[in-house]
């Protein structure tokens, strides 16, 4: 049920993206991934492992270590855990067609008193990231927008003040894959760009 929308949007004979399978999460700390995705518009997909799927948000400007910036994050459909390893090209004609880079990955831990699923439900999830590019405390806060046309999927990603803050930090300055060290342009130009095998 959780991956129904993911499945409905894709034709798996035509995209190299992983199938819609709910997996038992491996032991150890939950993982996160940020994918730089040059679709119709460039954005960053922020995904947290939770309950056997990846809870996902699309962030037009990308995450930042600058605590003075609020980054709009549109909640999108849950993705399968295997998506953590997906880097390559979604062919033209498919949902999300364009180039995907594994921009950052690592583990995360929930902060605060509530279990993370409950915090998510409440629209206020605080967490710590342990990535290669992103580290420290963050929060995802649901915006109770009542403006016309709002789908209710608007959140903000905030960097909390801690030892990892860096004013002016811009995701665009870090254009390399933590999997392959390639830039987005290099991935896009590589005919062999395809799914990366999971470990
Ligand atoms: Mn995307």
Residues with CB under 5 A from ligand 1 (ion): 37, 45
Distance 103 CA to ligand 1 centre (A): 12
Q: What is the CA(109)–ligand 1 centre distance, in A? A: 23
**pLDDT of 1:** 60
What are the tens digits of pLDDT across the range 138-173?
999 999 876 777 788 999 999 999 999 999 999 999
Å from CA of 160 to ligand 1 middle:
25
Encode pLDDT of 169-178 as tens digits.
999 999 999 9
Q: Between the CA atoms of 116, 121, 48 and 27, what dihedral angle is there, to the nearest 10 degrees? A: 40
φ, ψ at 173 (rounded to 5°): -80, 0
Model pTM score: 0.92
R_g of the chain, CA atoms, integer Å: 16
- How far apart are the CA of 85 and the centre of ligand 1, in A? 14
Instruction: For residue 44, give Cα distances in angstroms to 34, 186, 191.
Output: 6, 17, 22
CA-based max dimension of the chain = 47
């Amino acid at each position: 049920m959780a991956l129904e929308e993911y499945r409905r949007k894709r034709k798996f004979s035509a995209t190299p993206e992983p199938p819609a399978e709910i997996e038992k999460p491996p032991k150890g700390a939950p993982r996160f991934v940020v994918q730089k995705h040059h679709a119709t518009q460039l954005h960053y997909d922020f995904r947290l492992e939770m309950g056997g799927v990846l809870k996902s948000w699309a962030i037009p400007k990308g995450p930042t270590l600058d605590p003075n910036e609020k980054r709009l994050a549109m909640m999108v459909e849950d993705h399968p855990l295997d998506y953590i390893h997906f880097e390559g090209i979604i062919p033209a004609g498919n949902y999300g067609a364009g180039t995907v880079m594994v921009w950052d990955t690592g583990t995360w831990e929930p902060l605060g008193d509530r279990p993370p699923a409950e915090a998510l439900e409440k629209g206020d999830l605080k967490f710590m990231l342990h990535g290669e590019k992103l580290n420290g405390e963050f929060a995802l806060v649901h915006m109770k927008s009542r403006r016309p046309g709002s789908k209710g999927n608007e959140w903000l990603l905030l960097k909390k003040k801690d030892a990892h803050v860096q004013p002016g930090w811009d995701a665009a300055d870090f254009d390399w894959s933590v999997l392959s060290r390639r830039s987005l342009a290099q991935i896009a130009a590589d005919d062999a760009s395809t799914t990366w095998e999971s470990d």
